[in-house]
């Protein structure tokens, strides 16, 4: 099937789109991809929506702003996709299905026997009607309802890429997004978890000081002094005492602990915290990887990458591009892949990746009102 996948991360910087031709199993053929910036007004609306979500009590009706945000996100996706298709001489009719992650505004992991909550805002029916193509979205909700963490979901796609590349096991794929997560692949199967903040806190610190959206190549962090006592304070968080699998919201950690530091020292300390939390997560997997693959925006942070290489030696630490993977397109590709798996009823989450009791499919399918024909044929 030909699929267009979409991903909008918690950084709110843009819409990632990637074309994939896949059977949701062994076949993975790359098509064009792109990232288009999110309009400033949409970003401002989503920032307000996230604030409302973080203050939303359980059991109460969802904040009214959610519906406004859904409409804005659908419009943003439609404009971005139309631009992308025009640039690549494609049409919506060229695709069998669209796989859309939606915008995460809230994620709470299960705790003390209480199911978690996760919200990825989107309107799959509205998007299907606009595009004339079936849409799969809301990939995480079934896992949450089954008592799982609902994150990370990318491991099933990581596994397909690793198998196609014929890489030696054991292996760890590290995604350095707003939150860092890992996929450990060994002869025992898949294991995955969020490990802690990656770019999220560092980017917040940059914006707080009016120094841009990110630390280019980690140069500022490399110039600062690490305050080990603050790293230890961060690492004392209850999350790090929890067993795997486990998940995080980008806002589970704050900048409060580094509030009194100089700008450079703050970045250096946050970078060290990212590294220590990442190493703690890899230790939890119980494997010694032969190869480590870095994906996500943080792989451009040379300072952090150098720290990871030193800490994980003698493992070979490779960037996604070293394997001809597309590091910035990986998540959009992953949701394209999972859209096909959803259509086929194949699992996208597993006991070792989200803590769900048995492998579980997910995703809500919306068909265009104009043609309700099934894809089964």
pLDDT tens, position by position, 261-280:
999 999 999 999 999 999 99
The stretch 70-90 carries a mean pLDDT of 98
E strand spans, the chain: 2-8, 14-22, 28-37, 97-108, 117-121, 135-137, 171-176, 179-186, 189-197, 291-295, 316-319, 364-366
Task: Give the CA dihedral 61, 64, 65, 69, nearest 10 degrees.
Answer: 90
Answer whether residue 374 shows pLDDT above 50. no
- Which pLDDT does position 377 carry in this prediction? 40
10 is in an annotated binding site: yes
Tell me: is residue 334 an annotated ligand-binding position.
no
Backbone φ/ψ region at 368: left (φ over 0), alpha (ψ -120 to 50), beta: beta
17: CB partners within 8 A, 6+ apart: 4, 5, 6, 33, 34, 35, 36, 80, 81, 84, 332
- The pLDDT assigned to 373 comes to 46
DSSP of 317-367: EEEGGGGT--TTTHHHHHHHHHHHHHHHT--SB-HHHH--SS-B---EEE-
Length of the chain as a residue count: 377
- Report the CATH number of the 170-323 domain: 3.30.420.40
Q: Which residue has the tokens 């994906």?
A: 295
- What are the distances in angstroms from CA 194 to CA 141, 154, 260, 314, 377? 18, 11, 28, 23, 38
Q: 14 among the known binding-site residues?
A: yes
Question: Does 213 carry a binding-site annotation?
Answer: no
pLDDT band of 250, cuts 50, 70, 90: confident
Q: Mean of the per-residue pLDDT values for the chain? A: 95
Has 143 been labeled as part of a binding site?
no
128-182 pLDDT tens trace: 999 999 999 999 999 999 999 999 999 999 999 999 999 999 999 999 998 999 9
- Angle between helix axes 263-285 and 302-312 (nearest 10 degrees) is 40
d(CA 197, CA 252): 9
- Predicted local distance difference test score (pLDDT) of residue 76: 97
The span from the CA of 343 to the CA of 338, in Å, is: 9
Bridge partners of 365, per DSSP, are: 136
* Residues 292, 313: Cα–Cα separation, whole Å: 10
Question: Whose CA is closest to 252, among 302, 300, 208, 200?
Answer: 200
Distance between CA atoms of residues 293 and 322, nearest Å: 9
Domain with CATH 3.30.420.40 in the chain: 2-152+329-366, 170-323
Average pLDDT of 27-36? 97
At residue 192, does pLDDT exceed 90? Answer: yes
- Other C-beta atoms closer than 10 Å to the C-beta of 272 total 21
Is residue 352 annotated as involved in ligand binding?
no
Bridging pattern class, strands 316-319 and 291-295: parallel
Where do the DSSP E strands lie in 109-168? 117-121, 135-137
What average pLDDT does this structure show over 78-83? 98
User: Is 236 labelled as part of a ligand binding site?
Assistant: no
Cβ(32)–Cβ(63) under 8 Å?
A: no
Residues 318 and 292: beta-carbon distance below 8 Å: yes
Could you tell me which residues are beta bridge partners of residue 364? 137
From CA 224, how far away is CA 124, in angstroms rounded?
Answer: 45
| Mean pLDDT score, 91-99 | 98
Burial of 114 (0-12, 13-18, 19+ CB in 10 A): exposed
Which option is the CATH number for 2-152+329-366: 3.30.565.10, 1.20.1250.20, 3.30.420.40, 3.40.50.2000?
3.30.420.40
pLDDT of residue 256: 97
What token pair was written down for 305?
């990458």
375 is in an annotated binding site: no
């Amino acid at each position: 099937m030909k699929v267009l996948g979409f991903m909008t991360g918690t950084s709110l910087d843009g819409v990632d789109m990637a074309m994939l031709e896949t059977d949701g199993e062994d076949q993975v053929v790359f098509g064009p991809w792109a990232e288009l910036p999110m309009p400033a007004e949409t970003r401002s609306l989503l920032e307000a929506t996230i604030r409302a979500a973080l203050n939303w009590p359980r059991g109460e009706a969802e904040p009214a702003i959610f519906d406004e945000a859904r409409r804005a996100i659908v419009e943003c996706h439609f404009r971005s996709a139309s631009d992308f298709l025009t640039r690549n001489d494609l049409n919506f009719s060229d695709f069998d299905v669209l796989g859309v992650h939606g915008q995460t505004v809230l994620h709470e992991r299960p705790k003390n026997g209480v199911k978690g909550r996760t919200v990825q805002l989107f309107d799959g029916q509205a998007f299907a009607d606009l595009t004339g193509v079936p849409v799969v979205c809301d990939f995480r909700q079934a896992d949450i309802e089954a008592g799982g963490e609902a994150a990370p979901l990318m491991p099933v796609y990581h596994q397909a890429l690793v198998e196609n590349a014929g890489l030696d096991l054991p292996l760890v794929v590290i995604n350095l997004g707003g939150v860092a997560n890992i996929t450990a692949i060994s002869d025992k199967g898949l294991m995955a978890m969020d490990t802690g903040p990656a770019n999220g806190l560092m980017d917040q610190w940059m914006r707080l000081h009016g120094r841009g959206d990110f630390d280019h190549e980690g140069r500022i962090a490399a110039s600062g002094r690490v305050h080990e006592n603050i790293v230890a304070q961060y690492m004392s968080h209850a999350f790090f005492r929890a067993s795997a699998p486990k998940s995080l919201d980008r806002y589970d950690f704050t900048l409060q602990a580094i509030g009194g530091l100089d700008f450079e020292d703050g970045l250096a300390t946050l970078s060290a915290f990212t590294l220590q939390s990442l190493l703690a997560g890899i230790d939890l997997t119980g494997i010694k990887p032969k190869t480590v693959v870095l994906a996500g925006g943080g792989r451009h942070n040379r300072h952090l990458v150098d720290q990871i290489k030193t800490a994980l030696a003698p493992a070979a630490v490779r960037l996604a591009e070293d394997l001809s993977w597309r590091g910035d397109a990986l998540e959009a590709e992953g949701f394209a892949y999972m859209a096909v798996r959803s259509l086929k009823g194949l699992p996208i989450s597993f006991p070792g990746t989200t803590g769900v009791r048995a492998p579980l499919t997910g995703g809500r399918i919306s068909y265009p009102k104009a043609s309700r024909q099934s894809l089964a044929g």
